[in-house]
Chains A and B, each alone.
Chain A
């Protein structure tokens, strides 16, 4: 069972470079999310997609763009990376599983911007 697959696992960028983080889920969930996790800050919502074809800003959207390519895939793009975007990024999808509402996470992307 793949669940949520996220790539890459690690990335080092130079300031100003761009990159796209890929995410795919195979649980037929409508809702997908991108979070970043920083020490002492918890997980903060960057962008989310409630359903295919829709995306909305979360708490910390500045410097990011997203695309909900289809129901399975939700990508996060950094157009011009900055050191402040050094973080661990998690993609998630959510839905009801066996009577419990649950969010499932990808394995994370450790991004360093130098």
Chain B
């Protein structure tokens, strides 16, 4: 089983739609969780952190379910500019010597269409 699993998609949705992605992780001791966005042929960038109580940033809502070991990302009122790959990232803990072991999912591709 992969440490972090995502549906690769693509999710093709019309502009204005609501779309949700899920991600599951295998290590119950994982400490923190993130969604990163990656545009085609570009570097990943932090979209939002995911907190136990759930958090919202404009049209984006992230939820964490520790009991079931999954996190979700909800995008409301999709825009063409939301087209990208969304990476689920799990902080698996401290690496030997320090630093954090960030484990990345393979990403879910979203295409928003007119």
- Quick one: which of B32, B44, B95 contacts A105, CB cutoff 8 A? B44
Asked whether, in the complex, the Cβ of A30 is within 8 Å of the Cβ of B49, the reply is no
Min distance, Cβ B58 to any Cβ of chain A, angstroms: 16
Chain B residues whose CB sits within 8 angstroms of the CB of A102 once the complex forms: 34, 46
Chain A residues whose CB sits within 8 angstroms of the CB of B52 once the complex forms: none
Tell whether B91 is near chain A: CB-to-CB under 8 Å: yes
Min distance, Cβ A19 to any Cβ of chain B, angstroms: 20
Residues 60-114 of A contacting B (Cβ, < 8 Å): 90, 94, 100-103, 105-108
How many residues from B make CB contacts under 8 Å with A? 26
Given contacts A100-B46, A102-B46, 5 further A-B contacts (CB under 8 A): A43-B104, A56-B96, A90-B44, A101-B49, A105-B45
Chain B residues whose CB sits within 8 angstroms of the CB of A17 once the complex forms: none
Tell whether A45 is near chain B: CB-to-CB under 8 Å: yes
Tell whether B102 is near chain A: CB-to-CB under 8 Å: yes
Asked whether, in the complex, the Cβ of B106 is within 8 Å of the Cβ of A40, the reply is yes
Q: List 27 A-B contacts (CB under 8 A).
A: A30-B98, A31-B98, A31-B99, A33-B99, A40-B8, A42-B87, A42-B105, A42-B106, A43-B44, A43-B104, A45-B101, A45-B102, A48-B99, A49-B99, A50-B96, A51-B98, A54-B97, A56-B96, A90-B44, A94-B100, A101-B32, A101-B49, A103-B46, A103-B89, A105-B43, A108-B41, A108-B42
Chain B residues whose CB sits within 8 angstroms of the CB of A2 once the complex forms: none
Known contacts being A101-B49, A102-B46, is A42 close to B99, with CB within 8 Å? no
**Complex CA–CA separation, A35 to B44 (angstroms):** 11
- Quick one: which of A41, A50, A103, A106 contacts B95, CB cutoff 8 A? A50
Chain B residues whose CB sits within 8 angstroms of the CB of A50 once the complex forms: 95-99
Which of B43, B97, B98, B100 counts the most A-chain CB atoms under 10 A from its CB? B43
Asked whether, in the complex, the Cβ of B100 is within 8 Å of the Cβ of A101, the reply is yes
